[in-house]
Amino acid sequence: MLTVHHLNLSRSQRVLWLLEELGLPYEVVAYEREARTLLAPEALRRVHPLGKSPVLTDGPLTLAESGAILEYLVEREGGRLSPPPGTPERLRWRYWMHYAEGSLMPPLLMKLLFEGIARAPVPFFVRPITGRIASQGLRSFVMPQLRRHLDFIEAELKPRAWFAGDDFTAADIQMSYPLEAAQARVGLQDYPAIAGYLARIRERPAYQRAEARGGRFGVPGFGD
């Protein structure tokens, strides 16, 4: 039996959603973020040394990292929700499967960290310094990087409904989490194609079933 060690408001929502799309039976072991820190509880370290979610167990196999889990499940099910090998769509699929965490998530996390620095409780005589550092970092680096990424994604989605091409694939599931984060932390008023994509995925019955199993999809205030 497949078992998902699922943390609320985390990347593991992608694993639940893929399992629902594939129609596979699975069990959920649920964990809640610590109320003060919003970090994963210590109990997850008993499942995997890093103590993060998602973790998938399949018999004797224990697998972490949402992208690796999604690729494992797609391969396990004979390539379902991936384009045929050797096609341009397969190259796009592979690109977006890696882009989500490798390129898009880092500036989103940096935005969260700089905003945390700006709000951090520090002595009054230090606050102007930390505030200036945070403001400068956001203005000169983080926000220009995020706008560049969102402009790129907007242009990629305008001519097509899904990331790999005309058909929904696991790459759309992988890309969902950073785009949920972008909507929450940046806003998508200037990005109608991305906003439309998020509206489409939320209408999928499998997405809704996964939410019913694992709780509301979304992003936390801090990293997993």
Q: What is the pLDDT of residue 220?
A: 74
What local confidence, expressed as pLDDT, does residue 123 receive? 66
CB-CB contact of 177 with 95 (8 Å): no
Enumerate residue ranges in the chain where pLDDT < 50: 222-224
- What pTM, to 2 d.p., does this model score? 0.90
Evaluate whether the domain defined by 2-82+210-214 bears CATH number 3.40.30.10: yes
Write out the two tokens for 108: 């989103």
In tens, the pLDDT along 190-213 reads 999 999 999 999 999 999 999 999
pLDDT at position 36 is 77
Query: Domain extents for the chain?
Result: 2-82+210-214, 88-204
As a residue count, the chain comes to 224
| CATH architecture, domain 88-204 | Up-down Bundle (1.20)
Q: What are the beta bridge partners of residue 29?
A: 5
Please report where in the chains the tokens 């899904």 appear, as a residue. Answer: 162
Report the C-alpha gap between 90 and 84 in whole angstroms.
Answer: 6
Give the pLDDT confidence score for residue 140 in this predicted structure: 75
Q: What letter does residue 83 receive in the DSSP assignment?
A: P
H-run or E-run covering 62? strand 61-64
pLDDT at 223: 40
Sheet holding 26-31, edge to edge: 26-31, 2-7, 55-58, 61-64
> What is the token pair recorded at 115?
């905003």
The pair of three-digit structure tokens given for residue 16, joined into one six-digit string = 């639940």
